[in-house]
Amino acid sequence: MKQNNVLFVTGIDTNIGKTYATAFLADRLSSAGKKVITQKLVQTGCVDSSEDIEAHRRLTGSPLIEEDRMGLTCPFIFSYPASPHFAAEIDGRAVDCTIIDRATEALLARGYDRVLLEGAGGLMVPISKDYLTADFVADRSYPIALVTSGRLGSINHTLLNLEICRHRGIAVESVIYNLYPLTDERIAADTHDYLDYYLRQYHPETELIVMPARS
């Protein structure tokens, strides 16, 4: 599996807009002529089907597809809305990352140019007690798209995530600047300008992409 065929979509916090960003990137890549599919690392707070995968399809104007029904796009679904390690414990199960890997490989084998793999929470969220999301990403050399916003405090959280990536050797392909929800316009504008400056100074290989506020 070529690592650059998989883009891991993560965020600076929960409820930052990862699901919308994943659909946004899927549309962007599709418009560039790429055959792309979205996948979810682990879904919590659901039974039988992944609400995030369903949202990806709805936002990109697609019905559920065969790969969804086969379970390839979300191999692990847990009922309790909690961190993956705890949700798995509550359901008396465990996350086997080799199953996720095989599902990703199967998607690429079906002719997709790129898999957009949405995480659960942020990079430091535990998949198990001894294995973090950042471990999962670094072990596979996946590049990431990091979702942030203009809300107060996001500069600190964004830079902390960039430091984690630098420390662990994780390539940051893009920072997705989510304009939703609308916040203090002056703070939002300054946050964008500061992140643009910071990335040009310290992460010149990283693209800053503005994701418009949804209606």
pTM: 0.96
Kindly state the average pLDDT of the residues 143-158: 96
Considering the domain 3-211 in this protein, what is its CATH number? Answer: 3.40.50.300
Determine the pLDDT at residue 100. 98
Residue-wise pLDDT for 12-61, tens only, equals 998 999 999 999 999 999 999 999 999 999 999 999 999 999 999 999 99
Give burial (CB, 10 Å; 0-12/13-18/19+) of 69: exposed
35 is in an annotated binding site: no
The mean per-residue pLDDT over the stretch 168-187 comes to 94
170 is in an annotated binding site: no
pLDDT in tens, 95-114: 999 999 999 999 999 999 99
List Cβ neighbours of 73 (8 Å cut-off, separation of 6 or more).
37, 38, 39, 40, 50, 53, 67, 103, 107
Distance separating alpha carbons of residues 142 and 145, to the nearest angstrom: 10
Query: Is residue 129 flagged as an active site residue?
Result: no
User: 184 or 84: whose pLDDT is higher?
Assistant: 84
Which residues on adjacent β-strands are paired with residue 177?
148, 210
The residue from 2, 34, 40, 129 that is catalytic is 40
> Does position 215 have pLDDT exceeding 80, yes or no?
no
Contacts of 144 (CB under 8 A, 6+ apart): 7, 8, 9, 10, 123, 137, 165, 170, 171, 172, 173
How high is the pLDDT of residue 44? Answer: 97
